Amino acid sequence: MKIAVIGATGHLGGAVTREALDRGHRVTGLGSAQVDVADVASIRNAVADHDAVVVAVQGPDRLVPRAAAALLEAGLDRLVFLGGGGSLEYAPGQRYIDSPDFPPEYLEIARDHAEALEIFRGAKSPVRWSYVSPPPVYLVPGEKTGKYRAEARDTPITDDKGECRITVGDYASAVIDAVERDSFIRERFTVAGGSTY
Assess whether pLDDT exceeds 70 at residue 166. yes
Q: What is the pLDDT of residue 157?
A: 92
Name the CATH topology of 2-193: Rossmann fold (3.40.50)
Q: Note whether 3 and 159 are within 8 A (CB).
A: no
pLDDT at 197 over 70: no
- Cβ neighbours around 123 below 10 Å, total: 16
Q: What is the pLDDT of residues 44-93, one digit of tens each?
A: 999 999 999 999 999 999 999 999 999 999 989 999 999 999 999 998 99
Q: Is the pLDDT of residue 138 over 90?
A: no
Q: Please, are residues 189 and 153 in contact by the beta-carbon 8 Å criterion?
A: yes
Tell me whether strands 94-95 and 89-91 are parallel, antiparallel or unpaired.
antiparallel
Domain spans in the chain, listed from the N-terminal domain onward: 2-193
